[in-house]
Amino acid sequence: MPSYTVTVATGSQWFAGTDDYIYLSLVGSAGCSEKHLLDKPFYNDFERGAVDSYNVIVDDELGDIQLIRIEKRKYWFHDDWYLKYITLKTPCGDYIEFPCYRWISGESEIVLRDGRAKLACDDQIHILKQHRRKELETRQKQYRWMEWTPGFPLSIDAKCHKDLPRDIQFDSEKGVDFVLNYSKAMENLFINRFMHMFQSSWSDFADFEKIFVRISNTISEQVMNHWQEDLMFGYQFLNGCNPVLIQRCTKLPANLPVTTEMVECSLERQLTLEQEVELGNIFVVDFKLLDGIDVNKTDPCTLQFLAAPICLLYKNLANKIVPIAIQLNQVPGDENPIFLPSDAKYDWLLAKIWVRSSDFHIHQTITHLLRTHLVSEVFGIAMYRQLPAVHPIFKLLVAHVRFTIAINTKAREQLICEYGLFDKARGMDNTEDIPYYFYRDDGLLVWEAIRAFTAEVVDIYYGSDQVVEEDQELQDFVRDVYVYGMRGKKASGFPKSIKTKEKLSEYLTVVIFTASAQHAAVNFGQYDWCSWIPNAPPTMRAPPPTVKGVVTIEQIVDMLPDRGRSCWHLGAVWALSQFQDNELFLGMYPEEHFIETPVKEAMARFRKNLDTIVSVIAERNKNKKLPYYYLSPDRIPNSVAI
Please report which confidence band the pLDDT of residue 420 belongs to, taking 50, 70 and 90 as the band edges.
very low
- Per-residue confidence (pLDDT) for residue 182, from 0 to 100: 54
DSSP string, 229-257: SHHHHHHHHHHSS-TTS-EE-SS--TT--
At residue 299, the pLDDT reads 61
* CA distance to 136, 192, 414, 490, 572, per residue, from 564 (Å): 49, 9, 19, 43, 13
256/409: higher pLDDT = 256
pLDDT above 70 covers what percent of the chain?
A: 90
Instruction: Report the candidate in 324, 462, 453, 333 with the shortest Cα–Cα distance to residue 392.
Output: 462
Question: According to the model, what pLDDT value does residue 636 have?
Answer: 97
Task: Give residue 156's identity as a one-letter amino acid code.
Answer: I
Give 419's pLDDT tier (boundaries 50, 70, 90): very low
Return the H-helix or E-strand segment holding 591: none
pLDDT for 422 equals 26
Least-confidence region, from 1-15, 177-191, 526-540, 615-629: 177-191
**Is the pLDDT reported for residue 160 higher than 90?**
no
Our CA dihedral for 381, 384, 385, 390, rounded to 10 degrees, sits at 160
Identify whether the C-beta of residue 211 lies closer than 8 Å to the C-beta of residue 561.
Answer: no
What does the pLDDT look like over 67-100, one tens digit per residue?
A: 999 999 988 888 899 999 999 999 999 999 999 9
- Predicted local distance difference test score (pLDDT) of residue 266: 97
Q: What is the pLDDT of residues 258-268, one digit of tens each?
A: 999 999 999 99
Confidence category of residue 425, pLDDT binned at 50, 70, 90: very low
327 pLDDT band (50/70/90 cuts)?
very high
Share of the chain above pLDDT 90, in %: 70
Return the axis-axis angle of helices 438-461 and 501-513, rounded to nearest 10°.
Answer: 130
| pLDDT per position as a tens digit, 388-398 | 999 999 999 99
Average pLDDT of the segment spanning 241-256 = 96
Q: In this structure, are strands 36-37 and 65-73 parallel, antiparallel, or unpaired?
A: unpaired
Query: Which of 181-185, 195-199, 481-485, 491-495 is predicted least confidently?
Result: 195-199
User: How do residues 19-30 score in pLDDT, each as one tens digit?
Assistant: 999 999 999 999
| Beta-carbon contacts of residue 14 (< 8 Å; ≥ 6 apart) | 48, 171, 172
pLDDT band at 427 (very low <50, low <70, confident <90, very high): confident
Taking a C-beta distance cutoff of 8 angstroms, is the pair 635, 629 a contact? yes
Distance between CA atoms of residues 588 and 562, nearest Å: 43
**Listed residue (494, 418, 467, 449) closest to 616, CA to CA:** 449
Q: State the pLDDT at residue 403.
A: 76
Query: For residue 409, what are the CA distances in angstroms to 250, 254, 314, 413?
Result: 41, 41, 41, 6
Q: CB of 308 within 8 A of CB of 288?
A: yes
Count the Cβ atoms, other than its own, within 10 Å of residue 302: 17
For 428, phi then psi, to 5°, come to -115, 25
Q: What is the mean pLDDT of the chain?
A: 89
**445-496 pLDDT tens trace:** 999 999 999 999 999 999 999 999 999 999 999 999 999 988 888 888 889 9
Q: Is pLDDT of 538 > 50?
A: yes
- Out of 4-13, 434-443, 556-565, which region has the weakest mean confidence (pLDDT)? 556-565
Is the pLDDT reported for residue 550 higher than 90?
yes
At 423, is the pLDDT very low, low, confident or very high (cuts 50, 70, 90)? very low
312-322: pLDDT as tens digits: 999 999 999 99
The whole-number pLDDT of residue 457 equals 98
Angle at which helices 563-576 and 178-188 pack, to 10 degrees? 110
Q: Would you state the pLDDT for residue 202?
A: 67
pLDDT in tens, 37-63: 999 998 999 999 999 999 999 998 999
The predicted pLDDT at position 75 comes to 87
The residue with greater pLDDT, 359 or 216, is 359
* 3-state helix, strand and coil shares in percent for the chain, rounded to the nearest 5: 40, 15, 45
The pLDDT value recorded for residue 293 is 84
Q: What is the per-residue pLDDT across 583-638, written as a single tens digit (0 to 9) for each?
A: 899 999 999 999 999 999 999 999 999 999 999 999 999 989 899 999 999 999 99
Mean pLDDT of 339-346: 97
DSSP assignment letter at 222: H
636: Cβ contacts below 8 Å, ≥ 6 apart = 446, 516, 517, 520, 585, 586
- Strand pairing class (108-113; 65-73): antiparallel
Residue 131, pLDDT > 90, answer yes
Mean pLDDT of the region 323-344: 97
Region 271-291: what's the mean pLDDT? 96
Task: Please tell me the least confidently modeled range out of 187-196, 260-269, 458-467, 542-551.
Answer: 187-196
172-176, 482-486, 563-567, 580-584, range with greatest mean pLDDT: 482-486
Burial (CB count <10 Å: 0-12, 13-18, 19+), residue 178? middle
Q: Are 361 and 306 in contact (CB under 8 A)?
A: yes
Across residues 358-381, what is the average pLDDT? 91
